[in-house]
Structure 1
Amino acid sequence: IMHALQKLLFFHVFTCLRQAGHGSYIIKGKKAPENSLLYMASVQSSTGHVCGGFLITADFVLTAAHCAKDNPTHVVLATHNLKKSHQEKITIKKKFKPNFYQTAWHGDDIMLLKLSRKVQLNKRVKIIPLPSAKVQLRKNEVCQVSGWGKTITAGETVNELRVVDVPVINIRVCKELWPGLPANVICAGGYGTDKGFCQGDSGGPLVCKGIAVGVVSFNKNRNCDYPDVPNVFTDISKYRLWIKSILKNPNSDKQNP
């Protein structure tokens, strides 16, 4: 009997872990207009696009810590279409993750990418502001998430950037629906709607009123069209001091948030 219980417990834990999938797709979205979202970055490895990201200074891109497992080597800016030749490709010089980061499910799913050179900010490339203080998001406030991922469950990834509106979900409701939810997160899209980042590439921004307030972290990946739990983002406002210290001294090895 004991052996049977152990097997049952292992299966339950394994199932729960499988259900928390990294955000990789845009569901029920639309093609992003060419002159919009000019802060978006495609974080790439030697095999191509692996995650989304966004430019916060001329030489720093913000993305998700779990994207590090794909060994990104460079970012692509200045294009919405990853197949187009007109794009700016810049090598990643250094990656910064919080020291306490383990997995997306454990929280601290945020990473800074120091670029090898400063990008020229112009009509094709812009930066997006981060919260200057703790953000007060209202329930059902409509924000945006964007990415180059799949558009339907088990579909193909896309070359053209897509964007979708998602409603903010009360954090108390989110904790009830996601038992064990990590701290320092924002929930928006997914539960109660057929739109979300099931997903807007992992590492992409949750943008509210023109400010990047969250980083795409994870969702329930077994049902991307109508997930029965909210999509989860890292709350950038909780990492303001950590980000500021790295931007000020990128040669430091201090990575604690």
Structure 2
Amino acid sequence: MHRLSTFLLFNVLACLGQNVQGSYIIHGKKAPANSMQYMVSLQNKWGHHVCGGFMVRGDIVVTAAHCAEERPVRVVLGTHKLSESYMSLDIEYFCKFPTYKSVGFGADIMLLKLSGKASLNYMVKTIPLPTSSNANLKDDQICSVAGWGQTGTNHFTVDDLRVVNVSILNPQLCREKWGAGFPSNVICAGGYNTDKGFCQGDSGGPLVCDGVAVGVVSFNNGKNCDYPDVPNVYTDISKYLEWINSIIKTNKCV
């Protein structure tokens, strides 16, 4: 949940990735027990949460490419409460999508290969990905996004996983609201014309629709958590399936 940043015009793309701390879910609620066991917390060498992510295999996590800038070294899994972590695994290596440059240029997706393979059980689970190169989402479809941390501008971070429902926005409307230079292969949900979504955080966490991880939290509009007048933006996982499946199959970056 980091590096969610201002994105208004193409010539300010260099500003993306700044002024982003913690993991924010705005106007959400505490995640129910025994739900979303696919969620993981990416943590740095000091044990601080820096981004979210989600399990797609016992040793592979999907997250946002810009989370690498926060230098995570391990993931915590199997818990909603970070102070009572179930287990952790070191990150063996990162696989960023090859064309990724920065948040504003898109392709903000990364896979993490873990040092060991977690046993899947009632506390640790995986989440399915789309099965085709089209997410087949409908305007106003209700999905959800979850993460750890602050719940508003300048709030303190929280220890418990929180979740909020968000609506899918029409892609053309999203592009019009963001303006020139808006990246391709993204999904917009929440943030615009609502008081719910993520804010300067939740990076790397999944946008979940009908039990499938369809998006990866990428960016929003600066530090405005009151709430922004532009949609929240997620990387569209369906557009990267071939790349993801190649890594899962070969156990190496491609």
What is the TM-score of this pair, normalised by structure 2? 0.90
Partner of residue 69, structure 2: 69
Stretches of structure 1 lacking an aligned partner (at least 5 in a row): 1-11
Partner of residue 141, structure 1: 141
| Local SS of the residue matching 1:139 | coil
What is the TM-score of this pair, normalised by structure 1? 0.89
| Local SS of the residue matching 2:25 | coil
Verify the 8 A CA contact 1:97 1:112 in the aligned structure 2.
Answer: yes
State the 1:224 CA deviation. 1.3
* Mapping for residues 141-160 of structure 1, pairs under 5 Å: 141-160=141-160
> Which digits, 9 at most, give the CA deviation of each residue in 1:67-92, with x for residues without a partner?
000111000001100011x4111000
Matched, 1:210 2:211: yes
Matched, 1:128 2:127: yes
Verify the 8 A CA contact 1:149 1:199 in the aligned structure 2.
Answer: no
Partner of residue 247, structure 1: 248
Separation of aligned partners in 1, 2:124 and 2:67: 22
The amino acid that maps onto 1:119 is A
State the 1:22 CA deviation. 5.7
- The two structures, once aligned, show a CA RMSD in angstroms of 1.9
The amino acid that maps onto 1:77 is L
Partner of residue 191, structure 1: 192
Verify the 8 A CA contact 1:19 1:222 in the aligned structure 2.
Answer: no
Verify the 8 A CA contact 2:20 2:223 in the aligned structure 1.
Answer: no
Matched, 1:43 2:38: no
Separation of aligned partners in 2, 1:111 and 1:182: 17
Matched, 1:112 2:111: yes
Verify the 8 A CA contact 1:22 1:217 in the aligned structure 2.
Answer: no
Higher Cα Rg, which structure: 1
> Which digits, 9 at most, give the CA deviation of each residue in 1:114-153, with x for residues without a partner?
0111101001011000000111111110100000021011
> Which digits, 9 at most, give the CA deviation of each residue in 1:156-181, with x for residues without a partner?
12110000000000000000011121
| Local SS of the residue matching 2:56 | strand
State the 1:200 CA deviation. 5.7
Verify the 8 A CA contact 1:19 1:220 in the aligned structure 2.
Answer: no
Separation of aligned partners in 2, 1:32 and 1:72: 24
Verify the 8 A CA contact 2:206 2:215 in the aligned structure 1.
Answer: yes
| Local SS of the residue matching 1:245 | helix
State the 1:110 CA deviation. 0.3
Name the stretch that deviates more: 194-203 or 57-66: 194-203
Name the stretch that deviates more: 191-200 or 32-41: 191-200
State the 1:221 CA deviation. 2.1
Verify the 8 A CA contact 1:163 1:200 in the aligned structure 2.
Answer: no
Stretches of structure 2 lacking an aligned partner (at least 5 in a row): 1-9
Separation of aligned partners in 2, 1:182 and 1:50: 24
Partner of residue 228, structure 1: 229
Partner of residue 3, structure 2: none
Separation of aligned partners in 2, 1:74 and 1:15: 29
Taking only the aligned residue pairs, the percentage that are identical comes to 55
Partner of residue 5, structure 1: none
Verify the 8 A CA contact 2:199 2:223 in the aligned structure 1.
Answer: no
Partner of residue 168, structure 1: 168
State the 1:155 CA deviation. 1.1
